A and B are shown apart, each in its own frame.
Chain A
Amino acid sequence: MISRREYLQFVAGAGVASMWRSRAYAAVYLDIGEAQKLLLPQAASFVPLPLGLDEAALAEIAAVTQTRIPRGYSPRCWTGMAGVRPLGWVLADRVVGKYELIDYAAGFSADGATLGVEILAYRESHGSEIRGASWRRQFLGRKGPSELRFGDDIRNISGATLSCEHVTQGVQRLSAIVQRLVAAGSRG
């Protein structure tokens, strides 16, 4: 029999996930639940993790990634659990391509390495080549923003430069957040 705490965690997870699922626009290729399973397939459940990014944290992320924090920046984070053991994190965010929002999610292992990137929704005429596996495969195994530099570590797709650049910068910021989570975990 589940405890009341487990019940509330389930309700919270289902409710938050349903908010993403309710945005099932026609341009959506994956919802967050599907992305979570792809990015952390060993996880049996995903527990929302509030990031509590205050101004100091955002300034640190901006400095470490050498990117600008977009207006209204509020990525979502879930801890992937196998029983009581955390396996890693899935974070969801959105960036502007040329002029429309791109929804994407990235998975990270417990030591902060990137496990994958999934494009959840792409809404523009051009640049949807970033959905291709070969471009997204470049992110695998990279740990920390310094290993996710656009142009150096992550190559471009001609004709999709803005989308490639902005999604890469977005993943850099998510990776910086994950590095903070890893550091916090190691401090106990």
Chain B
Amino acid sequence: MTRTLHALLLTCAGSTALASGSAAQAQANSDAPAELRQLREDVQQLKGEIESLKAQKDSEQPSGVSLYGYGEINYSRLRNDPASATATVRRGVVGFAYRFSERTRFVSELELENAVVSKDDEGEIEWEQFYIEQDLAKATSAKLGLFLMPVGYLNEVHEPTRYFGVTRNLVETAIIPTTWRELGVGLHGTTEAGVRWDAGVVTGFDLTKWDPTSAEGKDSPLGSIHQEGQLAKAASLAGYGALNYNGIPGLNVGGSYYYGRAGQKQPDFAAPDATIDLTEIHARWQPGRWDLSALGAAGRFRNVAALNATFAGQPTPVPDRFGGWYAQAAYRLWQSGDYSLFPFARYERLNTARSYSGLPAGLAPDIEPDTRVATVGASFYLHPQVVLKLDVQRYFNDRSLDCVNAGVGFHF
């Protein structure tokens, strides 16, 4: 760049010298003084161009380091139980990225949940992402490391300013264990037609972690056995694929499929051939001020009957099937400068245990009815990157879970 600048200035100087030297010859021409003035103006203009370019170069990020992040603070209270009111710094995430070259970069996100992490506190700190990305071609890249699975909407894009509701929706937390990340290798790319594709091989779930005495498996089957890149058993790997179509502005439709063995080849494990698969489809349409979306996900555990036989009488055996769906509508009711208001409504229906296998009659837990939840609220943006949220949730199956939530979120 510097050499180019010097060469350019020398060229200009030479051209100016040439112009000046020829001025004497042009003296005989009655237009010479005017032409000389024009030449001087042109050189000044060129100098101005160079200064502007240098200023622009100075405004670039001085190194390859980028810093970004997001955070949210939540308040929640059961409608009929004031003593349940809880406020927490739900999460603070700082992202670091480093650009080694235009082809190679490091991307990471470090998350701290619920403010304090210690032996006696309930916070968590974890790497949410930690990978190297390499551009292989103009529209194809590869990732190597700990990265988010391309499943659903929230798993990859979950800043609080990017979704409606104080808390993330149940389907994309209980069925799709957002934020679901695995260690492995992934490829992704886009096509001219507006298709984005993803595929990869990653570490999978560890079914040996299933605790039949705990409610965790009922809250989120996959969330209770995820490994998150922490000393992950990698004897059994998994594969995934995802497709998204964005060829029509404002419309997205897509889906994903995950399959992996979950026994991890552990000796004496009762379900050595256990597998997990998760299928998901989604659509989002943003015509004008509307933001409409829907998603469905269905998962299966296979070959777990022998394992469940050892869990007989326990409250949380491994389900055969689990799944759910939601539909959501939001509307930009008002906007003025940086401020905007989006009321929204969402209906969700899910079940984390639709059926069991391997359990003798009378020893299997009752299949509970689907959880049905309606969430109604609003997001008020102080700025596109800062949002105030308020919503109420109604649990049709268990009104004691009805709650009011408030929160503030931001990203930078």
Q: Which of B53-61, B110-118, B388-396 contacts A (4 or more CB under 8 A)?
A: B53-61
For chain B residues 47-79, which have a beta carbon within 8 Å of chain A? 48-50, 52-53, 55-56, 58-61, 66-68
Q: Which of A2-10, A37-45, A106-114, A170-178 contacts B (4 or more CB under 8 A)?
A: A2-10
Pick from A19, A74, A155: contact of B1, CB under 8 Å: A19
Contact segment of B101-109, B228-236, B256-264: B101-109
Contact B95 A99 (CB under 8 A): yes
Question: Given known contacts A4-B19, A99-B95, is B101 in contact with A50 (CB within 8 Å)?
Answer: no
Residues of B within 8 A of A29 (CB): 138
B67 touches A158 (CB 8 A): no
B107: A residues at CB distance < 8 A: 125
Query: When chains A and B are docked, how far (Å) is the Cα of A25 from the Cα of B46?
Result: 25
Chain A residue numbers with a CB within 8 Å of B48 are 50
Q: State whether A132 touches B192 (Cβ < 8 A).
A: yes
Segment with Cβ contacts to A, from B208-216, B244-252, B268-276, B314-322: B244-252
Mark B32-45 against chain A: 1 for CB-CB distance below 8 A, else 0.
Answer: 00010011001101
**Residues of B close to A165: CB separation below 8 A:** 384
Q: Which residue of A lies closest to B96 (CB)?
A: A99
In the complex, what distance in Å separates the CA atom of A71 from the CA atom of B133? 28
Q: Is B99 located at the chain interface by the 8 A CB criterion? A: yes
A59 at the interface (CB under 8 A from B): no
Q: Mark A22-50, 1 if CB is under 8 A from B, else 0.
A: 11011111000000000000000000101
Contact yes or no, B194 A132, CB < 8 A: yes
Flag if A132 contacts B246 (CB, 8 Å). yes
The range of chain B's interface size is: 35 or more
Contact yes or no, B61 A101, CB < 8 A: yes
| Smallest beta-carbon distance A47→chain B, Å | 10
Within 8 A of B (CB), among A93-133: 98-101, 121, 123, 125-126, 128-129, 131-133
Contact A129 B196 (CB under 8 A): yes
Q: Is B168 an interface residue (CB 8 A)?
A: no
Q: Is the CB of B55 within 8 A of A74?
A: yes
Contact between chains at B49 and A12 (CB < 8 Å) = yes
Contact B42–A98 (Cβ < 8 Å): no
Complexed CA–CA distance, A97 and B337 (Å): 20
Count A-B pairs with CB separation below 8 Å. Answer: 161
Partner of A128, one of B5, B156, B190: B190
Give the complex CA separation of A110 and B288 in angstroms: 30
Q: Closest chain B residue to A154 by CB distance?
A: B249
- Give the complex CA separation of A29 and B140 in angstroms: 12
Shortest C-beta distance, A137 to chain B (Å), equals: 8
**Neighbouring B residues of A8 by C-beta, 8 Å:** 12, 15, 19, 39, 42-43, 46
B35 touches A4 (CB 8 A): yes
A130 to B49, CA, bound (A): 29
A141 close to B (CB within 8 Å): no
Residues of A within 8 A of B95 (CB): 99
B363, CB-defined interface residue at 8 Å: no
B153 at the interface (CB under 8 A from A): yes
Q: Is A188 an interface residue (CB 8 A)?
A: no
Choose from B5, B18, B67, B156 the contact partner of A159 (Cβ within 8 Å). Answer: B156
Known A11-B12, A50-B48, A158-B284: A129·B53 in contact at CB below 8 Å: no
Contact of A123 (CB < 8 Å), options: B12, B99, B138: B99
Residues of chain B having any CB pair with chain A under 8 Å: 1, 4-5, 8, 11-12, 15, 18-19, 22, 35, 38-39, 42-43, 45-46, 48-50, 52-53, 55-56, 58-61, 66-68, 95, 97, 99, 101-103, 105, 107, 133, 135, 138-139, 141, 143, 153, 156-157, 162, 188, 190, 192-194, 196, 244, 246-250, 252, 284, 286-289, 332, 337, 384
17 extra interface residue pairs, beta carbon distance < 8 Å, beyond A15-B8, A18-B8:
A4-B35, A8-B39, A11-B11, A12-B42, A22-B4, A25-B101, A27-B135, A50-B45, A99-B66, A100-B99, A101-B60, A129-B190, A132-B246, A134-B246, A135-B246, A158-B244, A158-B284
